[in-house]
Amino acid sequence: MRRIQLHLDEDVDEALAVEATRRGVAKAALIREYLSAHV
């Protein structure tokens, strides 16, 4: 797995944090899930 850096708007980062907390997963896992589904 490769490591990358992303610059996110604060509102997007906050939405990711809320969803990650709701699901009990890390934000990185949520980002990987979203990217896999849409790329």
Residues 25 and 8: their CA atoms lie apart, in Å, by 19
Which residue segments constitute the domains of the chain, with CATH numbers given? Answer: 1-39 (1.10.1220.10)
Burial of 31: CB neighbours in 10 Å, binned 0-12, 13-18, 19+: middle
pLDDT digits (tens, 9 = 90+) for 5-26: 999 999 999 999 999 999 999 9
Q: What's residue 11's pLDDT?
A: 98
At 29, give phi and psi (nearest 5°).
Answer: -65, -40
Q: What is the dihedral of CA 21, 6, 8, 24, to 10 degrees?
A: 0
pTM equals: 0.81
Q: What's residue 33's pLDDT?
A: 97
Q: What's residue 14's pLDDT?
A: 98
At 26, give phi and psi (nearest 5°).
Answer: -75, 155
